[in-house]
Amino acid sequence: MVGRQIQQYQLLEKLGAGGMGEIYKALDTRLNRTVAIKVLPSAKSGDPERRRRFLQEAQAASGLNHPSIITIHDVISEGDTEFMVMEYVHGKTLNDLIPKGGLRVPLLIKYALQMADALKDPIEKIQAYRRTIRIDYACELAHQKLAAVAARLAG
């Protein structure tokens, strides 16, 4: 797929792959910016459930606005293949950052606090629709506990 043109996006290099598809670094030739494109290949997009989950993922992420959550720019269909165009974030993945033996506790807590903070806004949005969900309390409690442990470790 590297080198392929999808509308105004030129695929530059493969960044990785997972259960849902492959991720490519691409150039948006119209806006002259680098983006990431998640590809749901035709072999998987033929499955209506996978296609539905792919679109659901894009819709869920596109409704969020947080520095630790990527921005979804667009979803494109070309032939039997689905493409999710998103913000490209330069840097290391968690797989690159986590050593084979695992993280030391202070760094683990630092990352956990960042993740908990990123989940706060989406949980508040969920609560606006479903008042009975108590996930916000659990996240807030976890955030407080992690912050207290981090403070003790910082000493």
Q: List the Cα angle 67/72/74 in 5-degree steps.
A: 160
- 87, 120, 145: which is the final residue of a domain? 87
Share of the chain above pLDDT 90, in %: 26
Share of the chain above pLDDT 70, in %: 77
Domain count, the chain: 2
Claim to verify: residue 9 and residue 83 sit in the same structural domain? yes
CB atoms within 10 A of CB 137: 10
Claim to verify: residue 103 and residue 31 sit in the same structural domain? no
- 87, 108, 123: which is the final residue of a domain? 87
Q: Which residues of 57-82 are buried (b: 16+ CB within 10 A; e: fewer)?
A: bbeebbebeeeeeeebbebeeeeebb
* 23: containing domain: 5-87
Residue bearing the bigger pLDDT, 75 or 149: 75
**Beta-carbon contacts of residue 64 (< 8 Å; ≥ 6 apart):** 121, 122, 125
Q: What is the pTM of this model?
A: 0.69
SS3 76: strand
Residue 34 confidence (pLDDT): 97
Residue 46 confidence (pLDDT): 73
Claim to verify: residue 78 and residue 37 sit in the same structural domain? yes
Of 3-7, 87-91, 125-129, 148-152, the least confident: 125-129
Claim to verify: residue 81 and residue 104 sit in the same structural domain? no
Claim to verify: residue 71 and residue 52 sit in the same structural domain? yes
Claim to verify: residue 83 and residue 9 sit in the same structural domain? yes
Claim to verify: residue 82 and residue 101 sit in the same structural domain? no
Tell me the pLDDT tens digit for each residue of 110-131: 888 887 877 776 666 555 544 4
